Amino acid sequence: MDSQIVAYVIVFMVSLVGNLLVILVVYYNVHMRSSTNQYLVNLAVLTCW
């Protein structure tokens, strides 16, 4: 059971870091601000909540 909790925490942390990286890349790079990337940022923000 403890290994399951550790696995869930690792998956949660990796997804949180990945979503934050997506948000930062689109925020700091003007040429990445297309409508598709804005949609991906919205999804990243919603999955961080």
pLDDT (tens digit, 9 = 90+) per residue, 2-16?
A: 899 999 999 999 999
- Please state the pTM of the whole predicted model: 0.81
User: Which pLDDT band, with edges at 50, 70 and 90, does 42 fall under?
Assistant: very high
Nearest alpha carbon to residue 37 among 3, 12, 45: 45
CB atoms within 10 A of CB 20: 13
Domain that holds residue 38: 2-48
CB atoms within 10 A of CB 22: 19
Q: Is pLDDT of 48 > 90?
A: no
